Amino acid sequence: MQYHNRYEVIYVDDGSSDQTYDIISEYPVKCVRHNVNKGYGAALKTGIRKASGDKIVILDSDGQHDPKYIDTLIEMLDDHDMVIGERTDDSFQVKRRQSGKKFIRMIGEFLVEQKLPDYNSGFRGFDRKLITEMLHIMPNGFSFSTTSTLAFLKEGYTIGTFPIVVEERIGRQSNVKFMKDGSKTILLLLRIIMLFNPLKLFFPTSILTFGLGILWGIAGYFIAGRFPNSATLITMMGVFIFFFGLLADQVSMLNRTKRS
């Protein structure tokens, strides 16, 4: 099927150092090139901004995703704000990433208080207006898919899914290493928490700290006949953590404010 005759096909070259851009330019697609490598999310942002249609479909160009699913995805976008191609059990996945992905899924489900679909599947589609309004909170790195899933769920938009089979990628191995590159995973989790539901972290922490201070104070009163200074500090810390959480929640909502 010649997709360029039916859809606007946009290829984003994220600062490659080979002849990729020259080769793709020979085909009847719209080519956009970054002068330097900006990241997976930045490439998607560029493609979305350059698109002119009402529906956006994104997929990786490394051979993992079969374009045959595009028609199904576009049709489902008539009834959903986002559609995700969920990888079947027999799809290819890098086994060493499974633990990291499960941990991120647990955190995500805790934040949005519902089950997540295939949150980091790279084959998905959006209503163009909605995803454009959220581009300012989308990262330039590999977590674009995760962040967009949580953002649509947090804002109450409808997400549809359908099964897809994903093949092993062609060419070099992925740069994303969830467990080996632990610092990036931890930073991603912290970013997700602070962006979507900081009170989920701050509120229980404040209650535990406040309660610990009160208990330590009561113990000190019975043991030494007075409320220890350390107990006072711990109790006040619990209060401060609570109010920091409220402030972080307000900043979070402001950051997620829709922009055109």
Instruction: Tell me how crowded residue 31 is: count the other CB atoms within 10 A of its CB.
Output: 18
pLDDT tens digits for range 165-216: 888 766 666 555 555 555 666 677 778 888 888 998 899 999 999 999 999 9
pTM of the model: 0.78
Domain ranges of the chain: 52-196, 199-255
Pairing of strands 159-164, 82-87: parallel
For the segment 69-78, what is each residue's pLDDT rounded down to a tens digit? 999 999 999 9
Of 1-15, 176-190, 222-236, the least confident = 176-190
Number of Cβ within 10 Å of residue 256's Cβ equals 17
**Beta-strand relationship, 124-127 and 82-87:** antiparallel
Return the CATH fold of 52-196. Answer: Spore Coat Polysaccharide Biosynthesis Protein SpsA; Chain A (3.90.550)
C-alpha distances out from residue 232 to 210, 228, 240, 252, Å: 9, 7, 12, 30
Q: Which residues contact 21 (CB under 8 A, 6 or more apart)?
A: 13, 31, 33
For CA atoms 17, 23, 24, 25, the dihedral sign is positive
Ranges 29-38, 190-199, 203-212, 244-253: which has the least confidence: 190-199
